[in-house]
Amino acid sequence: MSLVLGRLDPAFDGYRIVQLSDIHMDGVMTRERLAEVVALVNAQSPDLVVITGDFVSNRIGFLADDLIVPLRDLNAPDGRLAITGNHDQREHRAVVRRVIAESGLTNLNNAAVTVRRNESALHFGGVDSMYRHRARLDLVLNQLPDDGAAVLLAHEPDFADISAATGRFDLQLSGHSHGGQVRLPWLMRFGLPKYGERYVMGLHLVVGMLLYVNRGLGTTSLPIRFNCRPEITVITLLSAGEA
């Protein structure tokens, strides 16, 4: 998928991002399966990898090494960024933070980083879970320069109504809704999570900002998907002058 960002410097034309979301390491998602996903990601030759939350499932046990061992093999020259989701909180919060650190990921919760090509810059911000009342967009905005293209990682897609209103972000990448997970017209609307009800999957335009909602890799509640395959997203950024 190619996305044109109006403020993207031509130095970043063709920049390749791979997004993972909602791994939900819970026994259905195994270390071996995640290793296969990592190999597939690396085969896309990304410049940057981003993970938009929910490494685990609330109240379900997991082994930290089942995440750490595969994730530290992710290969991207500009790094691997991660935020946490609503399931990565409470009893799992400390362990998930350790997973992020020991996997060599950059924790982008309520923070921002800049990727440079000589004098040109591309900014990335991230917020912690809106669902858990931990999102601090003000802290991200305080760290962002005033100009240049900016991409926001936000686990809950409905956060786009807040981030787009600032006018600072060209693109938001989210997960959380699993694309509905079981896509039956009469059932899906009952299974959508809070803050994942307005923008469920795919590409949207929200007040001039692009939003992409990844369907995720794992499952919650029922360990099944129907008419809603798991997803890794490969995004190529294009500058307006090169589109």
User: Cα Rg for the chain, rounded, in angstroms?
Assistant: 17
Burial class (CB within 10 angstroms; exposed 0-12, middle 13-18, buried 19+) of 233: buried
- Joined together, the tokens standing for residue 184 give 């039956």
Tell me which H or E stretch contains 151.
strand 150-154
Largest separation between any pair of C-alpha atoms in the chain: 52
Tell me which H or E stretch contains 105.
none
Helix axes 64-71, 31-43, angle to 10 degrees: 20
In this predicted structure, what is the pLDDT of residue 27? 76
Nearest CA-CA partner of 103 in 47, 34, 156:
34
Q: What is the pTM of this model?
A: 0.94
Q: How far apart are CA 106 and CA 79, in angstroms?
A: 8
The runs of H, that is alpha helices, within 103-218 are 137-143, 160-163, 188-191
**pLDDT tens for the chain, residues 1 to 243:** 999 999 999 999 999 999 999 999 987 899 999 999 999 999 999 999 999 999 999 888 899 999 999 999 999 999 999 999 999 998 899 999 999 999 999 999 999 999 999 889 999 999 999 999 999 999 999 999 988 999 999 999 999 999 999 999 999 999 998 877 676 676 666 668 888 889 998 999 999 999 999 999 987 877 777 666 899 999 999 998 754
The runs of H, that is alpha helices, within 63-170 are 64-71, 93-102, 137-143, 160-163
Residue type, 211: L
Give me the CATH code for the 2-239 domain, please.
3.60.21.10
Q: How far apart are CA 6 and CA 223, in angstroms?
A: 40
In this predicted structure, what is the pLDDT of residue 227? 67
